């Protein structure tokens, strides 16, 4: 005989560890391998732009705090941009027409990126893996039928072609970039900051000294009183943590794509800029035009590239051409969905 009380306790468990600490080589770092993003919100206070409170353990524990927190950061940033007139009217209308608003707020689906974030139940995943999944998936909340079990929640075969097509349309209008912030005070001027804490509930300033095991998003900080206000994906939404209790600062940048005015002549550009370096001024990526095509230079190949430039006698001889992200993709990608070649 099943004990229903025990079953309910398991389903509504207060907390399950669900983030893995660490990063991946080649991650973007603000001001290092990505430009320092422009200041979006000089006050660093995002509390007035918080999204719908969504819990990660309503029907079952998803262990997806890293995806919920990344989405909370993106939703708050998006809301700020909408309310400050930074989103083109036609883009905003497209979002409304396609179900991206819920109760008047932008709301991205948490389940879909979780499906692609390599999450292990009861363990979680890395922040950078969740960020990568969120970068690739920006679909409206509940875009898929509600799952009945945790197995269905993570079942990629339940992904629909309609959702995939909708994502492709989103990608024609917006592009997300994530990066590691150098500090919390700096990062909060770019976007809400995703980070890690040791899970705890309470209304006082929380400062646990145990290992960090949970991902949340920072909305504001008070340096004088030494605390950060965070948005959590469990029952208690807002909490205050001491500054030393919040770590691993991850930020977001939204690029808005407006291709109607993009009249670049790709063939002419490639021909006129042969052997020159090209820099994506929006993302900080570098490339070089060799053999009639733009080749992207990865950090791992940068040293070999410099040796090649020296051998060609080109170091310091030619200007670096600055292009927008839209023009970069036109130059580098054979098609919108296909990556170009690398040096």
* Structure tokens, 107: 């709301």
Q: Are 40 and 152 in the same domain?
A: yes
pLDDT score for 7? 34
Enumerate helices (H) and strands (E) in the chain, giving the number of each: 11, 15
pLDDT for 194 equals: 96
Q: Are strands 277-280 and 286-290 parallel, antiparallel or unpaired?
A: antiparallel
CA distance 267 to 292: 8
245 and 276: one domain? no
Q: Exposure pattern of 215-236 as b/e (b: 16+ CB <10 Å)?
A: bbbbbbbeeeeebbbbbbbbee
Same domain, 316 and 191: no
Supply the CATH number for residue 197's domain.
3.90.70.10
- Show the domain range for 305: 263-332
Q: pLDDT at position 203, please?
A: 95
Q: Please check whether residue 198 is in contact with residue 216, taking contact to mean a CB–CB distance below 8 angstroms.
A: no
- List Cα–Cα distances, 58 to 8, 14, 45, 70, 150, in angstroms: 11, 11, 28, 18, 11
**In the prediction, which pLDDT does 107 show?**
96
pLDDT recorded at residue 94: 93
Mean pLDDT by 10 residues, the chain (343 residues): 35 50 50 64 96 85 91 96 89 93 93 94 89 95 93 95 96 91 94 95 94 94 94 92 94 82 71 90 90 91 90 86 85 80 91
Provide the number of structural domains found in the chain: 2
């Amino acid at each position: 005989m099943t004990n229903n009380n025990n079953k309910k306790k398991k389903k509504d468990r207060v907390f399950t560890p669900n983030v893995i600490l660490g990063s991946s080589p080649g991650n973007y770092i603000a001001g290092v391998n990505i430009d320092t993003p422009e200041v979006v919100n000089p006050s660093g206070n995002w509390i007035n732009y918080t999204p719908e409170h969504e819990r990660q353990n309503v029907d079952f524990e998803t262990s997806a705090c890293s995806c919920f927190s990344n989405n909370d950061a993106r939703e708050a940033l998006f809301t700020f941009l909408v309310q400050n007139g930074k989103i083109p009217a036609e883009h905003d209308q497209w979002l409304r027409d396609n179900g991206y608003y819920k109760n008047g707020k932008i709301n991205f689906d948490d389940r879909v990126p979780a499906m692609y974030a390599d999450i292990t139940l009861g363990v979680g995943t890395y922040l950078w893996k969740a960020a990568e999944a969120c970068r690739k998936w920006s679909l409206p909340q509940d875009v898929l039928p509600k799952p009945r079990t945790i197995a269905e929640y993570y079942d990629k075969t339940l992904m629909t072609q309609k959702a995939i097509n909708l994502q492709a349309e989103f990608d024609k209008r917006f592009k997300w970039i994530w990066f590691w912030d150098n500090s919390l005070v700096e990062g909060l001027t770019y976007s809400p900051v995703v980070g890690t804490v040791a899970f705890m509930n309470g209304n006082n300033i929380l400062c646990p000294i145990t290992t960090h095991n949970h991902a949340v998003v920072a909305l504001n900080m008070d340096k004088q009183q030494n605390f950060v206000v965070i948005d959590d994906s469990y029952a208690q939404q807002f909490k205050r943590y001491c500054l030393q209790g919040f770590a691993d600062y991850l930020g977001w940048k939204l690029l808005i794509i407006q291709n109607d005015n993009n009249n670049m002549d790709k063939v002419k550009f490639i021909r006129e800029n042969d052997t020159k370096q090209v820099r994506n001024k929006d993302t900080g990526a570098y490339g070089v035009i060799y053999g009639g095509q733009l080749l992207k230079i990865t950090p791992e190949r940068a040293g070999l590239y410099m040796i090649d430039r020296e051998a060609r006698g080109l170091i310091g001889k030619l200007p670096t051409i600055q292009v927008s992200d839209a023009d970069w993709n036109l130059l580098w990608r054979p098609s919108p969905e296909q990556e170009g070649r690398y040096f």
